[in-house]
Amino acid sequence: MLLAIDIYRNHKQTIDTLFEKTSMLYNPLQFESGYQFEFMMKYKNTINYIFKHGQNILSYSFEQFMDQQFEEEVLYHAHPTVPNLLPPEWQPISHIQLREPNYWLGRGLIVWFEKANDSRLRLIAEVGPLEYDGRLWLIEQLEKIGLALRGNSKLEKARYTRFFSQKIDVNKWDDMDELTQAMADLYNSPEFTLLRKQVAAILNNENPVAEDVNKPMEDSPLHEAKIQVQNAFIKWMESKKIPESHYRVSSRNLSFKIPLFDAFKEKLGETREKWWWDNGPFLFWMNFNQDSLYFTLEIGPIKADKRVLLMEKVKEKGIKFSKKGLALEAKFNRIYSETISIKGLTESEILNVLDALYENRELQIILEKLQMIYDETVSKLE
């Protein structure tokens, strides 16, 4: 299945086309002779398998999350778009009968992950269609711990009530490790960790805890360093007047784009496969840890003919990149990178580092040359 994901994300357009054509082969009237027809007939099942399973990265990331997160047996379903589970501490919910037995996992509480409209990963917790007396009791207990629920959630006809929602940035939606980490970050966030314990206490007829149960994690040097870098980056984005829709912050990466990149995207189109969160020709991104920042300007996998044209113009302007960048099959080329130490720095000092990285004269010359390429060539493309 992991191989299917790799093949699909690296050859999405080809697999989609082959799948569409093989789907027609079930029609007896669609008979042709020749190598292409024979190839599709021979590998029809393989193509269908790759098409079906190659798109299920959210499902497989969720299974990886489950393997890493839990040692005990947990009730879950690795659904391709809304993978879901019942946190093990919420198992006592089974004592309250469901009105609709087919609800999710057959219990009155559910937690699921989904890709939100803003391309962030979202975790949602919901109370389902329990028998009315039990449902009303649970809703009232949730209100007592400070949750603001919809006014109609107490009505007898009410069926579904979401009582928690939290989102996190995801840079690369085709990176299973990043999705797995994002799920773990949401599930183990201080807010949801506390809520899980509070709901468990309610279900066990105990007094819900009020303190921040995840405080030790928050006080760890690694966690503090990560938050410091993320906060500094967000403040830096604000200082550059870059809107939230133009940058992303995840547990491992920072990324952003500038208006020039959008201008290129309008003329050159989106990438031929999912690339980061914007699918545009250019992106700034950074890997970071508590000791260093790795800053990169990269060209992504736009359509081959337009990409070769762009890379030829980039080469003419004297911007250095790998020789393979001019090949039709080339996908990614870093045209600028820099690593800098942030060990022991304060948030304000990290802000200065980000400024220094971006204002570096070599990078600014590259951006000036990209602007020239756009003005002289790309802007005139139909």
| pLDDT exceeds cutoff 60 at 219 | no
Confidence at residue 216, expressed as pLDDT on a 0 to 100 scale = 40
Phi-psi region of 104 (alpha: psi -120 to 50; beta: other; left: phi over 0): left
- pTM comes to 0.64
Lowest-confidence range among 45-59, 170-184, 245-259, 355-369? 45-59
Angle at which helices 304-316 and 361-376 cross, to 10°: 120
Calculate what percentage of the chain has a pLDDT beyond 70: 83
- Counting DSSP H helices and E strands in the chain, the numbers are 14, 10
Phi, psi of 370 (to 5 degrees): -65, -40
| 299, HSE (Cβ side, Cα atoms, 13 Å) | 30
Average pLDDT for the chain: 86
Confidence at residue 285, expressed as pLDDT on a 0 to 100 scale = 94
The average pLDDT across 215-232 equals 69
Angle at which helices 176-187 and 57-69 cross, to 10°: 50
Name the β-bridge partners of 269: none
Better-predicted residue by pLDDT, 290 or 32 = 290
Confidence at residue 103, expressed as pLDDT on a 0 to 100 scale = 95
Q: Which has the closest alpha carbon to 191: 165, 162, 223?
A: 165
Q: Which has the closest alpha carbon to 19: 45, 56, 38?
A: 45
pLDDT band at 7 (very low <50, low <70, confident <90, very high): low
Rounded to whole angstroms, the Cα distance separating 82 from 114 reads 5
| pLDDT exceeds cutoff 70 at 146 | yes
| pLDDT exceeds cutoff 60 at 34 | no
The average pLDDT across 104-110 equals 95
| pLDDT exceeds cutoff 70 at 369 | yes
- Determine which helix (DSSP H) or strand (DSSP E) holds 294, and give its type and residue range: strand 292-299
